[in-house]
Structures are given as structure tokens and as C-alpha cells.
Structure 1
Amino acid sequence: MPLPEKAGISGLAFDHVYLNWNEHGHPPENLFGVPHFDVHFYMTDAAAREAISPAAPDFMEKGGRYPPAEFVPAGYAPPPTPDPVPQMGFHLTDTASDIFQGKPFTEVFIYGGWDGRITFLEPMITLAMLESRATVVREIKQPARYSSPGYYPTQYRIAYDDALAEHQVVLENFIWRD
């Protein structure tokens, strides 16, 4: 879903949103093996995302090339072995997240990218959490540096709007970063 004219904000870091429905979850099953949505907010265009293909000879190399530490929030880490996803790239998860503290997965925030750069931000939300209609507001951990200047979110919100009868997944409280 392309953002309409960058959502009317000059300098917005995002280009489009890509929604995935995982009816049976996805690996690692012990963490994410329940029905959930992945909501990817991409900083690259759709053509760059679609070009991430396992048919490319350098797919695993680029998928295992993570950004320098200053571009990754403290505590975020890749899986033990590179596991790039076609048309997405690598995923970095907050090691302080509830899912690593023995609590069940309801929602988690991912930083993701490709070939040494962060290219998307991703709230992951279980179907059960959405069905509960609970509202969740979380701060987004920030890296020390950004590879491109622009407006970046400092929090995300998951909520159900009774008046509109819809679920909302929102990045908000944007701040300009050089």
C-alpha cells in the first residue's frame, strides 16, 4: 500500500506499507507460531523490496549483512544464523522483549533490512490480541544514528476504534533525525 504523497509530510522516512497475514504463524514456531499479522513500514520503494530474491546469487550474503551497531537500537539482535526472507530481508528482534522473558507473543516490534541497511519497521500483532480489542502503546527504541535524514516514529499504537469499527496500527510521535 503506497503512502499517499508520503502521507502529506515532507521528509517522512517511509514509502509504503506491506501487510502479511500468517494464518499458522512462522518460524521460529516457539516464538511466532500463532496466527498473526506482520505490518511492514518500508523506507525503500516497492521495486527494491520485490527485488530481494533467493534466486539472486548474493541473497544469503546480503541477507546476513547487518548494519553497523550505531544504526541498530541497543538490545536488538539477528537470529543465530542468517535467515533472510524473500521480498523482506533480515529481521532484528529486541532481546529484552516479553517473548524472550517467557511471556506469550501478543505483539512485538521488529527492525528489518537488507544489505547492511535498516529498510523497514515492523509491528507484529497476534490475531488474539486484535480480537481482544486491547489498546497498546509502546515506545520504539531508537538507534544512535540514521542512514537517511527524515521523520522517524518514537512510538507505535495498536487500537480498535469503535466508531469506525476498525483496528489501527499506527506509527506516531515522529521526530526529525539527521
Structure 2
Amino acid sequence: MGEGTAKAFADIGEDGTPYSVGLAFTEGALNALPQHEPGEYTLKLPSILNIPPYNHMVINWMPHGHEPDGIYNRPHFDFHFYFINETTRKAITCMGADREICLKQPDPDKLPPFYVGGPEGVPQMGWHWVDMRSPEYNGKPFTTTYIYGYYDANLIFIEPMITREFLLKKKKFEQELMLPKTFTHLGYYPQKYSIHFDKTRAMHFITLKYLKEMQ
């Protein structure tokens, strides 16, 4: 990615309990990125690790941001953690007959408090839901936010979204997360996410932490 590398990681206890999952990338990964077209980088946890519901991760680089205009139209990364496999994800179009499936309303218990769905779904991703309490919806510029993603009324991904500018500042950040009451894909869900730059290793870490098993 860029002039660097990226990888998925997990922190596992001696008893096999996962404490966190995340994405890490070197300083150079923020340099020499595509300037006009989006970039996409797919990653997976090491094969010896099986941490449900995580199937694969995709880092999407958005050099011009995306809609809604005036909020997310800043150069940023979408750090997607998908619960479905790549074949299923790539079959999502959110257009034609698939649009109705993509925008099918989830049951209230499957939604975190304060989240609202966007006007349309995104091909090969799904329907993005945003926290209306986030700073970018309350008069402040977008720096980082946390998205829940749905398809066919089920949660299929979670997504920290972070501007390149914020990452370059190398500030520590941690936020407590709102969780739905019920899940289709059972497994370990984060209660917080953090952004951290490790000076010793010269790496950025995007971490989903304090994983809670949802059954």
C-alpha cells in the first residue's frame, strides 16, 4: 500500500480468547497513494487464527473522499472488517433488484443506538449506517468516525473511517462504541476502537479492542 506495507493482526490470550483485532501499516503506506482513482487493499488474518465473525479486511483509499458532500469529501481511508467472504461481498451491487435487498431495514435490535442509514448502498460493500452524534454531523470537520454496514437486513461489516491528515498527525485516539443487541454473525465484537502510532516500530495501528463475545 503506497510506499509501505499493511497487515491484519490479532491479540490472543493464553487460553485462546481474542482481545483485539486490527490493521497495521508502515509510515510509507500513507505516501505515493493514487491521486485520482480509489485504491483497494484486501487483507486476512493469519490462517492459524479463527476469530469469528471476521472473514477478511479491505482498506479502501478515497483520494477525494465520497458523499455526503461537505462531510466525507476529504482524502481518507475506509477500514472495512467484513464478516462475509469475498465472493459474497463482490456479488453485492445495491442496484436493480439487489437494491431492495441492500436497503432492507434491519430489525431495531440489530441496530446500534443513534445510527442512521445512508440514502443508498455501495456496490461490493453494502448499506452504511452512521452515528448522528459524530462530530462531522455536528458542525465539526471529519477526522475519524465508526460505521456499521448492512446487507439484507444483517450486519456484515464494521468500519473505522479515518482521514489521511489525522493519521499523519500521529495522535492517539480511542472511542467507546455502541453495540446492537443482537447479531446474525455471532462472535467477538469491539467495545472500543483506537488509533495509535508506534514510534519504535514506525507503524500505525487501527485496533478493534475489548472484544466481547456475542452469542
State the distance in 1 between where 2:161 and 2:63 align: 13
Partner of 1:4: 46
Matched, 1:177 2:211: no
Tell me, yes or no, if structure 1 residue 164 matches structure 2 residue 164: no
Q: Are 1:142 and 2:192 matched, yes or no?
A: no
**Distance (whole Å) between structure 2 residues aligned to residue 165 and residue 21 of structure 1:** 20
Tell me the amino acid that sits aligned with residue 125 of structure 2. M
Distance in 1 between the 2:64 and 2:137 partners? 20
Pair 1:87-2:124 in alignment: yes
What 5-or-longer segments of structure 1 have no aligned partner?
A: none
User: Is 1:70 aligned with 2:112?
Assistant: no
2 CA distance for matches of 1:27 and 1:48?
24
Name the amino acid aligned to 1:19.
I
Name the amino acid aligned to 2:79: V
Shift of 1:110: 0.2
Which residue of structure 1 lines up, in the alignment, with residue 79 of structure 2? 39
Does the 8 A contact of 2:155 with 2:185 survive in 1? no
Q: CA RMSD in A?
A: 1.4
Q: TM-score, normalised to structure 2's length?
A: 0.77
Q: For residue 151 of structure 2, what is the amino acid of its counterpart?
A: W
Give the CA deviation at 1:3. Answer: 1.9
2:38 corresponds in structure 1 to none
For 2:69 and 2:197, the matched residues in 1 are separated by: 27
What are the superposed Cα offsets for residues 69-94 of structure 1, whole Å, 9 maximum, x if unpaired?
Answer: 10110100112x3x111100100000
Which of these residues, 3, 15, 18, is aligned with residue 58 of structure 2? 18
Tell me which stretches of 4 or more aligned residues in structure 1 moved more than 4 Å. none
Distance in 2 (CA, whole Å) between partners of 1:139 and 1:66 is 25
What does the per-residue CA deviation read over 1:98-147, in whole Å, with 9 as the maximum and x for residues that have no partner? 11111110000000021111100000000110010001111111111112
1:8, distance to aligned residue in structure 2 (A):
2.3
The 2-side partners of 1:103 and 1:32 are apart by 12
More helix by share: 1
Q: Percent identity?
A: 34
Decide whether the 8 Å contact of 1:160 with 1:166 is kept in 2: yes
| Pairs aligned (count) | 173
Q: Which runs of 5 or more structure 2 residues have no equivalent in the other structure?
A: 1-42
